[in-house]
Chains A and B, each alone.
Chain A
Amino acid sequence: MGTVDHMQWLSLLADHWFRRGAWVKNLPGQPTKIKTERSFQRQPNVFLNNKKHLLSGKGKKNLRYFKNVGLGFKTPREAIDGTYIDRKCPFTGNVSIRGRILSGVVTKMKMQRTIVIRRDFLHYVKKYNRFEKRHKNMSVHLSPCFRDVALGDVVTVGECRPLSKTVRFNVLKVTKGASGSKKGFSKF
């Protein structure tokens, strides 16, 4: 995986800025591919067409809805300042975090706005008085406000309503993992 050519990267970035949401090649470290949007992306709770706002030119910054998810989780700077629209984001979208709070290790980041995490645990076998290692994979929604997520990071997820067939959790916090292999067993 060689380095991306500087000029190539710049031209891709320019492409992205000038055409809202152009196809961006999967650059190393960028988990999400951006599709050309066919419908106008907006937050439903924000009224963009306030007359005073429309006529007086732009306000100091774009109107944005964000919320505090509670339970002591800090809403990331990127969620407040950013321009992404994600209705499944816990900070800027229409999901509430309630129920279980779990954590896991990021194993795959191939899906759009959602990742697979791995949760390891020990299962006790009574007959032998010993434990055995088990794990479960879980698909979890990753908001665009978490930008530098890499494989092996430890991630805290909170339960929300079903977001898709298999996704019921939403990433709330990312902590950099030690550069250990993702396949290794790590208990927490």
Chain B
Amino acid sequence: MELLKPDLTIIARSEVFPHLLTGTLTQIPCQPFIQHIIRIVQAPINRTASFPASSLIMYDPYCSISRDKWHKRRKTGGRIPQLRKKRKFELGRPAANTRIGSHRVHTIRTMGGNKKYRALRLDTGNFSWGSEAISRKTRIIDVVYNASNNELVRTKTLVKSCIVQVDATPFRQWYEAHYAKPLGRKQGVKLSEAEDAVLKKLDGASKKLKKKYAEREKTAKVDHALEEEFSTGRVLAKVASRPGQCGRCDGYVLEGKELEFYTRKLKTKKGK
């Protein structure tokens, strides 16, 4: 990290911005500058070995984002005079804006030497199906709704508590193996041999096995709304982890009242 500043100023001066001959990093607004640099660096230009893309950290640790309280006014409305300069423990870092794409996660050294995993692109997550109490790693297909900001839906940004569409096949596979019943299968569609074998498992099975599956059948019913989702191959889920902090996009499949709430929201949005 301490190598970053000198590296970027070299680029600024010599190659990329010849007109910024005297510019140092602190004099240029960081965010757009760094993103511009990254765009250039990622282009296939023969850069020197002193500038590998993996060490390109997307922030300046002393950027103008700070989480201090003394810039705010008091409850009475009075100003607070500045007592001190910005401190390192008050720092803030630019947002991750995690998108859907092939896995890209950067490690960040935080206060105390600890790590944060800033996910920049994610494509899979561990989603749990609450009522069945199982979790499966699935592909994230699309961001569908965000309660805070429609912009984040448009840019397909993964954040905690956004509603995503997730690939339903691992859950369906588990269900069919666990209950030996089809889930969300369309009528008259021919299944592959392997899938068929799973569903027909009980045909030549022992009495004990049949008894086990008969027990399971008692709780095998899946809510109608969820079954419909399975037939389309995509299931709505809510992200419950913070991708910009832990580098993972995990969550849970929407069911029951929550599913009803969000499908209604999506319908009204589509209706508009």
Q: Mark B100-135, 1 if CB is under 8 A from A, else 0.
A: 000000000000000000000000000000111000
B221 within 8 A of A: yes
Would you call B219 an interface residue if the criterion is a C-beta within 8 Å of the partner chain's C-beta atoms?
yes
A-B contact pairs, 26 of them (CB 8 A): A38-B147, A38-B148, A39-B147, A39-B161, A40-B257, A40-B258, A42-B258, A48-B258, A49-B131, A49-B255, A49-B256, A49-B258, A51-B131, A51-B132, A51-B219, A54-B131, A54-B223, A54-B255, A54-B256, A55-B219, A55-B221, A55-B223, A139-B75, A165-B72, A165-B75, A166-B75
Q: Which residue of A lies closest to B255 (CB)?
A: A49
Q: Which residue of B lies closest to A53 (CB)?
A: B256
Closest A-B pairs by Cβ, 10 of them: A39-B147, A38-B147, A51-B131, A49-B255, A40-B261, A49-B130, A49-B131, A40-B258, A166-B75, A49-B256
Contacts of B161 in A (CB 8 A): 39
* Closest CB in chain B relative to A163 CB, distance in Å: 14
Task: Provide the A157-178 mask, 1 if CB < 8 A to any CB of B, else 0.
Answer: 0000000011000000000000
The SS class assigned to the B binding surface is loop
Residues in A with CB closer than 8 Å to B130 are 47, 49
Q: Which of A38, A42, A52, A166 has the most CB of B within 10 A?
A: A38
Asked if B256 and A48 make an inter-chain contact with CB atoms under 8 angstroms apart, the answer reads yes
Is B179's CB within 8 Å of the partner chain A?
no
A179 CB–B CB distance under 8 Å: no
Q: Does B230 contact A (CB under 8 A)?
A: no
Verify if B262 is at the interface (C-beta below 8 Å from A): yes
User: A47 CA to B265 CA in the complex, in Å?
Assistant: 22
Contact with A along B245-263 (1 / 0, CB 8 A): 0000000000111100110
Measuring CB to CB, which residues of chain A are less than 8 angstroms from any residue of chain B? 20, 38-40, 42, 47-52, 54-55, 139, 165-166
**Which residues from B are CB-within-8-Å of A166?**
75
Determine which residue in A42, A47, A49, A55 has the highest number of CB atoms from chain B within 10 A of its CB, and name it: A49
Contacts of A48 in B (CB 8 A): 255-258
From residue 56 to 106 of chain B, which have CB atoms closer than 8 A to chain A? 72, 75
A38 vs B268: C-alpha distance in the bound complex, in angstroms?
A: 12
C-alpha gap A22/B105 in the complex (Å): 41
Q: CA separation between A165 and B262, bound complex, in Å? A: 31
Cα(A166)–Cα(B74), bound, Å? 9
18 new A-B contacts, CB < 8 A, other than A38-B265, A54-B131, A54-B255, are A38-B148, A39-B161, A40-B257, A40-B258, A40-B261, A47-B130, A48-B256, A48-B258, A49-B130, A49-B256, A50-B131, A51-B131, A51-B132, A52-B219, A54-B223, A55-B221, A139-B75, A165-B75
Taken together as a complex, chains A and B put the C-alpha atoms of A38 and B72 apart, in Å, by 29
Interface residues of B in 114-173 (CB under 8 A from A): 130-132, 147-148, 161
CB distance from B179 to the nearest CB of A (A): 12
Considering the complex, give the chain B residue whose CB is closest to the CB of A139.
B75
Report whether A40 and B262 are in contact in the complex, using a CB–CB cutoff of 8 Å: yes
Give a binary string over B221-243; 1 marks a CB under 8 Å from any A CB, 0 the rest.
10100000000000000000000
Q: With A and B bound together, what is the CA distance between A54 and B256 in angstroms?
A: 7
The minimal Cβ–Cβ distance linking A121 to chain B, given in whole angstroms, is: 18
CA distance A139 to B74 in the complex (A): 13
Cβ of B258: which chain A residues have Cβ within 8 Å of it? 40, 42, 48-49
- Tell me which residues across on chain B come within 8 A of A165, comparing CB atoms: 72, 75
Report the minimum CB–CB distance from B148 to chain A (whole Å): 8
The smallest C-beta distance from A68 to any residue of chain B, in angstroms, reads: 27
Which residues of the other chain, A, contact B257 by a CB distance below 8 angstroms? 40, 48
B residues within 8 A CB of A52?
A: 219
Residue of A nearest to B253 (CB): A49
In the complex, which of the residues A39, A47, A48, A52 has the most CB atoms of chain B within 10 Å of its own CB atom? Answer: A39
Note all chain B residues with C-beta closer than 8 A to A54.
131, 223, 255-256
Contact residues in A for B132 (Cβ distance below 8 Å): 51
